[in-house]
Structure 1
Amino acid sequence: MTETQSQSQWERVGGAPAVKAVLDRFYEGVLGEPQLAGFFENVEVENIKPHLAEVLSVVLGGPGLSPDVDLATYLTDAHARLGVSESDYALTGKVLLDTLAEFDVPDDIVETITGALAFVQPFVVAA
């Protein structure tokens, strides 16, 4: 097995430092979108970045949420009061994918994240 094959996707993207850099840029992009910026009024973005980092860690095979944490409940509880529409979610996903492209994240890892976005959408978008 090559080093790339033996490494988790989390390790291949550079672990916590790389994910932090991506998330810093991602939140700049989200805050720059008028449709999305309102979700972050009166929110200290630095306090929520670690939560998305944890989710990405789980998705990419890194250290993350405790195995006994129910991801669906975790995400539903975090987003229930926000009223996120499908359009809001799609735009957020686009900003994330654009950010991943900006950082030259490998295609297989982008596919993993795209799959995760589809999987978690029902837990984020308002019913």
Structure 2
Amino acid sequence: MSIYESIGGAGAVQAAVDDFYARLLSDPQLAPFFADVDLKRLKSHQRAFLAAALGGAQIYQGRDMAAAHAGLEIGESDFDAVVTHLVATLTGLGVPQETIGQIGGLLAPLRSDIVTVPVTT
């Protein structure tokens, strides 16, 4: 059984995306990234991306992560905040910690495509 099926399929992904974006939009650090974004379209892309990434039958046809996030100046702390909100969303929806870890393992490699602001020392 895929992760997609184990968490409840399309309904669970939709609930997760809705809760996730509510969290992101209420976070003062992250909300500015979404100021001029068509959220309905973005949520649709996010649902398709997650469904495909988690083993659902859907095919993600959006841009690759580097292209989708180019020019947004996303830093390490921004990425980490998004991860925190995703974990909180999944935990709140009753997804087992082991499954959350598996999802994190699938998404963690995207950090290098999404984070575009170099770490300063």
Identify whether the pair has TM-score above 0.5, normalized to the shorter chain: yes
Q: Is the 8 A contact 1:85 1:126 kept in 2?
A: yes
* Structure 2 counterparts to residues 110-125 of structure 1, below 5 A: 110-125=100-115
Q: Of 5, 18, 37, which residue of structure 1 is paired with 2:12?
A: 18
Assess if the C-alpha contact under 8 Å between 1:9 and 1:61 holds in 2. yes
Write the distance in 2 (CA, Å) between the matches of 1:64 and 1:90: 27
Q: Which residue of 1 aligns with 2:77?
A: 87
| Structure 2 gap ranges (5+) | none
Instruction: Report whether the alignment pairs 1:31 with 2:25.
Output: yes
The residue type paired with residue 21 of structure 2 is Y
CA deviation after TM superposition for structure 1 residue 54, in Å: 2.2
Corresponding residue SS for 2:29 = helix
Q: Which has the higher helix share?
A: 1
Match for 2:93: what amino acid?
F
Aligned to 2:2: 8
Of 34, 38, 55, the residue aligned with 1:40 is: 34
Q: TM-score, normalised by structure 1?
A: 0.84
TM-score, structure 2 as length reference: 0.88
Which sections of structure 1, spanning at least 5 residues, go unmatched?
1-6
1:101 aligns with 91
**Aligned residue pairs: how many?**
117
Runs of 4+ aligned structure 1 residues displaced above 4 Å come to none
Q: Percent identity?
A: 36
Counterpart-to-counterpart distance in 2, 1:105 and 1:85: 27
Alpha-carbon distance in 2 for matches of 1:36, 1:85: 11
Q: Shift of the alpha carbon at 1:113?
A: 1.4
